[in-house]
Amino acid sequence: MTELSKKDQLFELIRANPFISQQDLAVELRLSRSAVAGYIAGLIRERRLLGRAYVLPDNRPIVCIGAANLDRKLRSIATLKLGTSNPARQDESYGGVARNIAENLARLGSPAALLTAIGDDSSGAALIAHAQSLGIDTRGTLKLADTCTGTYTAILDDHGEMMLAMADMSLYDKLTPEVISARQPQRMAAALTVADMNLPMATLAMLLQEAVRDAVPLILVAVSQPKMAHLPANLSGARLVILNQGELEVRVGHSIHNDEQLRDACNQLKAQGARDVIVTRGSTGVVYTTRDDQIAFLGAREAQIVDVTGAGDAFAAAVCWSLYQGSEDLSLACRRGLQLSAMTLECEETVCPWLHAGALDEIHNFDTPYNLLFQD
């Protein structure tokens, strides 16, 4: 058996421990620091390593940029009555669209990184500690002094349906283009970037421009109708935009009453630069764009609803995971999204606690036939 060269030995040591220092490499291989640096430079030129921190090509993460906050859910014990006090049960969990997507991805076994903002409080520290315990890279976190970590409070009826939600997300305005640019070391190795629309418009515009320049797929995920104002006019660089019908109506400036109007609205976003669009429609299912500028429909999977919180983020995470696996098939991505969404609906937690690597591997294109809403 041929003995490995020093450069190949060094590569195997880095593969085993991507955080090993150059000094430790030098000691292990009985080389000088300068020789180690030379071998590393060669591996980078050969694209066997992707820059500093020795990021291996098969370990490139999905970088999620946006909100990470504390979720409070108040669920009515009986039928809600307005204008009076209602008996309820309160639950607290970790939330935020970008954070939820990152946790789902981590539980699915994909490398994930989270760029977010937190306050200098116990909630923020707990959020980051929990993410790190799942293997999520949080080194790009912005910690803000004299600021409270973001919160999201949802009022659910006795069936688990959301009646009202209040969000304190102003700290994400601090995730400016300058702040995100300063996190380049955490972003440079991304295989795919996911950004939620809690980010300021200028930051989303910068990410779109970078996606065009660097050819790294960018997925934009809407968070609410008011936050649609953050979406830039020019969507060039967006591999995919995921939003619900109400958010789509805000974007196009009118109500959508039929399938033809829905198709035209999706095509407006494509004309603005987005490569594809997925529109979630709650218990009805999802609509997604096809290569011939038509739209296709997939019905939702049956689920015993316990809590709707996080179901949309789970859908987005599964779609991102499917694209990350190398499949460009949106039909398959949406099937996987609907499956994970149904799993999330059936548990009280914002992220399904029994989710695991391989949970979506059995979702194939032939599982559910899809119905094209328009055909020439």
Tens-place pLDDT, residues 281-313? 988 999 999 988 899 999 988 888 888 889 999
Higher-pLDDT residue of 70, 24: 70
Residue type, 301: R
With a cut of 50, say whether residue 375 has pLDDT above it.
no
What number is the average pLDDT over the span 25-32? 92
What number is the average pLDDT over the span 71-85? 91
Instruction: Give the chain's domain count.
Output: 2
What number is the average pLDDT over the span 349-357? 89
Contact between residue 155 and residue 81 where contact means Cβ atoms under 8 Å apart? no
Residues 266 and 325 in one domain: yes
Residues 195 and 54 in one domain: no
Residues 126 and 192 in one domain: yes
How high is the pLDDT of residue 367?
47
Residues 168 and 275 in one domain: yes
CA 99 to CA 69: how far, in whole Å?
Answer: 8
Q: Which pLDDT band holds residue 57 (cuts at 50, 70, 90)?
A: low
Residues 98 and 23 in one domain: no
Q: Give the model confidence (pLDDT) of 152-187 as tens digits.
A: 898 999 988 889 888 888 999 999 999 999 998 778
Residues 6+ apart with CB under 8 A from 268: 251, 252
Residues 6+ apart with CB under 8 A from 160: 75, 305, 306, 307, 308
Q: How many CB atoms lie within 10 A of CB 44?
A: 15
Residues 46 and 73 in one domain: no
Residues 212 and 332 in one domain: yes
CA 119 to CA 167: how far, in whole Å?
Answer: 15
Count of all residues that appear for the chain in the document: 376
With a cut of 60, say whether residue 366 has pLDDT above it.
no
Domain that holds residue 101: 60-372
CATH number at residue 52: 1.10.10
Q: DSSP letter at 187? A: H
Higher-pLDDT residue of 105, 185: 105
Residue with tokens 């997939």: 298
